[in-house]
Structure 1
Amino acid sequence: MSAFLTVCGKFLVGVLVIFGIWTLLVVLFEPPSFMLPGPLEVLRSFPANAPFLLHHAGITALETVIGFVLGVSCGAMLAVWIWLYPLAGRIVMPTILVTQALPVFAIAPVLVLWLGFGMSSKIVMAILVIFFAVTSTVYDGLRRLDSGLVDLARLYRVPRFRELWVFRLPAALPAFVSGIRVAAVFAPIGAVVGEWAGAKGGLAFIMLQANARGNADLLFSAVILLALMVLALRYAVEHLSKLLVPWQVED
């Protein structure tokens, strides 16, 4: 409970600092409201648009969570498969690297063309954005086993699957946690990029509509909701990481 209160306190301080800087910029430069509305104007727009905003935020949140879970699962399983079958990994890894080299804004329209304007293209986009980070971190964790344990496994001629289960997977847990921490930040970005290319709903859908109509209050409200979503997912992952690696001490 005390840890939760500490996180809430830090969050409130961060919010106050951001809102203070935002207010200062509006007061000093007096930009037109359609370019940069004041924080109070944006906050006043929330009650009027709350049902609309929450409905579309729910769509983006669902896309993000499903993409996050599937991306993390696929990335971890792919890393295990590459370690178990190194020859196959040498063939698969270049293909994975090519997919990561392509700009996400180039992939998103293709996914919308193939999978339509529904949630499927956004979920796949979120998976593509995060699964390589999980694959690479977990694979590094599987490879970097203590040399003494490696010698012990070789001495007793431990089968490769048993070595994976007994030695490699527990040793790779901290690396897996690092991977899902990165994925928690980028999964919402993948979903939003997918919505930006074409969608029937979601926060990016609101941003596009609000931008076209010059409704900056609604646009900033959607951005704030997206930021809150990222923070909530990151906090959930931090809590999960403490359950997975309780022995890891943080500075």
Structure 2
Amino acid sequence: MKNLHSYLLSSLLVLVFLIVWEIGASLYNKSFILPTPTAIAGELWELKTVLLLNHLPSTLLIILIGLVVSIVMGVTLAVWMNMSKTAEKTFYPLIITSQTIPVIALAPIFVLWFGYTIWSKVVVAILITFFPLTVSTFDGLRSSNKDLKELLLTMGASKKDIFFKLDVPSALPSFFSGLKVAVTMSVIGAAIGEWLGAQAGLGYFSRRMMTQFDGAAVFAPIVLLSAVGIFLFLLVICLEKIILKWREKQ
């Protein structure tokens, strides 16, 4: 009942926001700057074929490749830093430093290096998603119970046994927390990459419509991008519940 009550309150808040937006945009009466939600919904319906068949697949491919590469690289680096103090002291400061550089400033450089191919957008997505995955996994690996580790060692467990039976289960909740952040950030990374230079994609389409002063068409792909981010977030939550059943029981 508590969850249902929370969902109802959230839905009510969104509904109030949309009503205020609809009334405010109608009074403002400049649709090329601030279109109404109904106008955006109508434009999204009219453009559904173009967006879903021509531009959404390009964006999803960027998101998928970026996430897979970030997961593989991030988890590998997190495990290495957990096992080696030298690796931690070498790479951890570099990981932190990488987040101090605005991605929007690097994106044009990636376009210069890789051209208008998919890889210039993938690199942007990787740069945004790599940090939360690596740091959260690393923190999760370090959070394993030291007393349990000593107990396993006294019982003759090998480093491999400790890693898979203690460190990995301890790190999984943190990994999924980082993954929840990464999947939503990957959508932003893909959109930024497409915005600055692409031949297809939801971000590219939104930018193209901006040059035509079509406010509703600018917002339509943004709404679709938001829906993709929400879907991926919910997908990670479902995956987390399936894999971490033991935590739910506890």
Q: Aligned-pair distance for 1:52?
A: 1.8
After TM superposition, the structure 1 stretch with the greater mean CA deviation from structure 2, 61-70 or 175-184, is: 61-70
* Mapped contact 2:59–2:191 kept (Cα < 8 A): yes
1:113-134 Cα shifts (integer Å, max 9, x gaps): 1112121111121111011111
Structure 1 partner of 2:126:
127
Structure 2 partner of 1:77:
76
Structure 1 partner of 2:240:
241
After TM superposition, the structure 1 stretch with the greater mean CA deviation from structure 2, 152-161 or 206-215, is: 152-161
Q: 2:47 aligns with which of 49, 53, 67?
A: 49
Whole-angstrom distance in 2 between the partners of 1:18 and 1:214:
24
Structure 2 partner of 1:197:
196
Whole-angstrom distance in 1 between the partners of 2:6 and 2:71:
25
Whole-angstrom distance in 2 between the partners of 1:243 and 1:182:
19
Evaluate the alpha carbon distance shift between residue 237 and residue 155 of structure 1 in structure 2; reply closer, same or farther with a 3 A threshold. same
Q: Aligned-pair distance for 1:188?
A: 0.5
Task: Name structure 2 gaps, 5 residues minimum.
Answer: none
Structure 2 partner of 1:99:
98
After TM superposition, the structure 1 stretch with the greater mean CA deviation from structure 2, 224-233 or 32-41, is: 32-41
Evaluate the alpha carbon distance shift between residue 7 and residue 76 of structure 1 in structure 2; reply closer, same or farther with a 3 A threshold. farther
Evaluate the alpha carbon distance shift between residue 190 and residue 13 of structure 1 in structure 2; reply closer, same or farther with a 3 A threshold. same
Whole-angstrom distance in 2 between the partners of 1:227 and 1:11:
16
Whole-angstrom distance in 1 between the partners of 2:192 and 2:9:
29
Whole-angstrom distance in 1 between the partners of 2:139 and 2:74:
12
1:33-76 Cα shifts (integer Å, max 9, x gaps): 11112222222223432222222122112211221222122211
Give the AA of the match of 2:209: A
Give the AA of the match of 2:201: G
Q: Aligned-pair distance for 1:6?
A: 10
* Mapped contact 1:84–1:160 kept (Cα < 8 A): no
Q: 1:39 aligns with which of 37, 41, 45?
A: 37
Whole-angstrom distance in 2 between the partners of 1:79 and 1:136:
7
Evaluate the alpha carbon distance shift between residue 174 and residue 103 of structure 1 in structure 2; reply closer, same or farther with a 3 A threshold. same
Give the AA of the match of 1:205: Y
1:180-213 Cα shifts (integer Å, max 9, x gaps): 1111211101111111221111111111111111
Whole-angstrom distance in 2 between the partners of 1:182 and 1:108:
20
Structure 2 partner of 1:26:
25
1:203-230 Cα shifts (integer Å, max 9, x gaps): 1111111111101111011111111111
TM-score under structure 1 length normalisation: 0.88
Whole-angstrom distance in 2 between the partners of 1:95 and 1:234:
28
Whole-angstrom distance in 1 between the partners of 2:235 and 2:64:
11
* RMSD of Structure 2 on Structure 1 (CA): 2.4
Task: Name structure 1 gaps, 5 residues minimum.
Answer: none
Give the AA of the match of 1:51: T
Structure 1 partner of 2:230:
231
Q: Aligned-pair distance for 1:179?
A: 0.8
Question: Segments of 4+ in structure 1 off by > 4 A?
Answer: 5-15
Whole-angstrom distance in 2 between the partners of 1:23 and 1:146:
53
Give the AA of the match of 1:111: F
Question: How high is the sequence identity, in percent, across the aligned residues?
Answer: 32
Whole-angstrom distance in 1 between the partners of 2:151 and 2:134:
26
